[in-house]
Homo-oligomer: A and B are copies of this chain.
Amino acid sequence: MSKRIGFAGLGLMGGRMARNLLKKGFPLTVWNRSQERCAPLAREGAKVAATPRELAERSDVVVACVADPAAVERLVFAEDGLLSGVRPGFRYLECSTVDPGTTRRVQAALRERGGDALEAPVTGSKNGAENGTLLFMTGGEQAVHDELLPVMMAMGTKAIRCGTMGQGSTVKLIGNSIISLMLQTLCEGIVVGRRAGVSIETILEVVTASGYSSPYFTFKGNAIARRDFEEHFAIDLLVKDQTLMLQQAAALKVPLPGLAAVREVFQSARAQGFGREDICAVIKTLERAAGETA
């Protein structure tokens, strides 16, 4: 019999991930801070919980996909939070991108009540969530990873266990740091190219044919060519992750001169009002810095 799944956080990613669980036949209860987001899934057959506590009580596994460490703290530790509804055997699948400290704290609290957690931040952005092709980077016990694999495979196509609790988050933050510099350098190149009379299309053609090609350059480069900045992954969220990465690196005493420089550019994009647009909108900030009228 299928595990009963609870889903907390029905944003751009979470809503799509929850729908896939429903489609694959999992009995689903959902909770979201602003309850109106629950309605579409309720119409498709999901139950709605009034509080995270109720969500935990009604589920064998709760999957969470919320914005940041503070949101996880509230979800789990607040009065009427998840923790108060946990019983032995309960499982928590943390799909939010947060820092290792947070996931470890959550795991410790769950274990005290006989439950356990697996961190499993995802990559694939909006399309991957929609199509069920996400990649999970897990941290936690191998047994818990194996136990929750069917749940993950309802939302994605691959789950790589990166190590113990915290190490999945670490790898996820590394990944978001990588896309930050990839996007920065692509955009720097596009702005220089344009000034020199070289089109984005030519740059992308060369990149695609080269040894440093990446589907990511194609995906984001094409969006920029169309001036399509609709959110797949919002600048606000990427800056949150860049900041978590810099914090973790500081704690580990690793200087990150590349990421530090690039984060200030994305900060500028937030300041200029592009925080809710897709991360490729950072090109507008570089264009302004280069004196082009926005």
Contact = CB atoms under 8 A, between A and B. Distances in A.
Interface in A149-196: 158, 160, 162-164, 166-167, 170-171, 173-175, 177-182, 184-186, 188-189, 191-193, 195-196
A163 B264 contact: no
B258 A265 contact: yes
Nearest to A259: B188
**Oligomer copy total:** 4
Contact of A170 (B164, B192, B259): B192
Interface stretch (A23-31, A47-55, A83-91, A206-214): A206-214
A61 to B, nearest CB: 23
Interface residues of A, number: 84
B271 A291 contact: yes
Nearest to A123: B210
Given A160-B209, A198-B162, A210-B135, A265 B254 contact: no
A198 B163 CA distance: 7
A249 to B, nearest CB: 5
Interface string A241-268: 0010100111011111111111111011
Contacts of A272: 288-289, 291
A127 to B, nearest CB: 9
B257 A257 contact: yes
A284 to B, nearest CB: 12
Contacts of A182: 178, 181-182, 185, 212
Contact of A167 (B128, B160, B175, B197): B197
22 contacts: A123-B206, A123-B210, A135-B206, A135-B211, A167-B196, A179-B212, A182-B185, A184-B258, A185-B258, A188-B254, A188-B258, A192-B254, A195-B254, A196-B248, A196-B252, A255-B289, A257-B264, A258-B262, A261-B261, A272-B288, A288-B288, A288-B289
